[in-house]
Structure 1
Amino acid sequence: MAKSDLKILLVDDHEIVLRGMRHLIEDILDSECRVDCAKTAAEALSATSAQHYDLCLLDIELPDSPGIELLHKIREKSPGIKVIVNTIHEELWVMKDYFDANVEGILFKDVLSSEIAQAIHVVTDGGTYFCNRANRLKLSLDRSDLPTPKELEVLHMLANGKKTDDIAAEMHLSTNTIETHRRHLLSKLNARNSAELVLKAVKQGLIQTTRK
């Protein structure tokens, strides 16, 4: 397929981002390629219902739909579409959903325009493209010593300042079981105490931050 035949959908709730991305794509591909924009999940689904797209650059934080849910709906309405996730979120537990969904690309919003261009070229040519930090997150997910879902639940409660007895009561488990989960977490993250455990968990994307 010629680049000028490509139909691309940009999904982001920021008008300035959409304008910049549209200008970039038309510049690096071909001014005759079709580039449509959507600022909400509803607009994205309306567009994909009316038109087949070859590529979608998807912001996963929209006001009217969870990103992973929108991704699946877009694929239902536009079969064969390739998706590059474009986001500020680097939390491991967030990214896991998109790796599991086999998206064709992941970029964080602070990458250079040259890397966006490279990702678009690679993905539209049939490849996959993950920026360096996304690749590191993928390697972390592939490790066998990641915390289990129960351990992550304990970790999140520890990060919120809850004590062993409180966690045990909330999870309907014994205090010994909670202490076992905590010891496993300390070992897996190579931390000496709960405070260091939380700091390392944040760095590894295991705990959601409040960054916007």
Structure 2
Amino acid sequence: MKKLLLAVFFIPVVLFTQNGPKLEIIGGENINVGTHRRGQELSYEIQFKNSGDQDLKITGVSTSCGCSSALAGSDAVKPGETGAIKFTFNGQGMGSVTKIVMISTNEAGSPTHNIQMTMNMADPVTLNPGSIITEGKVGDELTQTASVLNSFDKTIEITEITSNTPVIKISSDRMSILSGEAAALNISIKIYEESAINAAIIIKTSEGDFQIPVLVDVKTN
């Protein structure tokens, strides 16, 4: 009796599964934007990558308050490619400020990514004193001192120190102020007339202009 041998061949079937798009925030979802001038608008680009295997679409972007905004492009981001979301904050507040950017995508389950944006809002310089009030009489030449402290985490350049009156002369011991250091100002006020001097010292820097008000009460003889 002949035996019929049947050879059964199993053909392996390879299933290619797709995971879909995946949003990856480059550098992590907690972003420290650094120190910025209080009251001055700042912009920051949140960089992201599509770590998935299908096109990624940003379907919605919003922020935690009306003082900030975020904008994303409408184009799909292909697998392995990168994109950016522009974050804008109006600069209000003092000290450490945190805002949340909420990003919705076409990922499975339609998740929302909460990106924490932290920034330190500060005045670039601290003036000491904040104003100069003194007195004298005609013929006097008054001397005063002041300091300009760099409150930022980077070097600040003084580009010009002047006054809105020629009777005030100012000199500084430095024009480049390292973080945490201060420039010392020597101020000379010459009294020519029997009338009060109401003026200002203007300090122009790489981070904006600042003023020290000056009031001199002139005594009559």
Common fold: TM-score over 0.5: no
The structure number with the bigger radius of gyration is: 2
Using CA pairs below 8 Å that are at least 6 residues apart, which structure has the higher relative contact order? Answer: 2
Smaller-chain TM-score bracket: under 0.3
**Higher helix proportion:** 1
**Higher strand proportion:** 2
